[in-house]
A = this chain, B = another copy of it.
């Protein structure tokens, strides 16, 4: 997403989630419920799992997923140096095609921190 677009992204995400809840099947809703349940505190902390979700989203190059997990990581108290090391794992594993996503992620992260 372009600089400064996080709020627009979030509103779009909410509106579209509303459409999915209205038109989705029982299986659609089960999938979304499982999405939330998977990141809850358990044997691993929610914080660690959100960082894992971030790394997975970076190597799979899903900008919306990256933006979502950045928000969750910030709320979970992840620091910038920790974020950078998670990004390093994603860069190494996923290669240079992850660079544009890592660059965008860092920009979004710094914006979210300022708020």
Contact = CB atoms under 8 A, between A and B. Distances in A.
Interface of A: 2-3, 12-13, 15-17, 19-20, 23-25, 27-28, 30-32, 34-35, 37-39, 42-44, 48-49, 51-53, 55-57, 59-62, 64-65, 79-82, 84-100, 102-104, 106-107, 110
A102 B62 contact: no
A103 B20 contact: yes
A-B pairs with lowest CB-CB distance, top 6: A95-B95, A16-B103, A64-B100, A43-B81, A62-B97, A56-B93
B19 A110 contact: yes
A63 to B, nearest CB: 8
A96 to B, nearest CB: 5
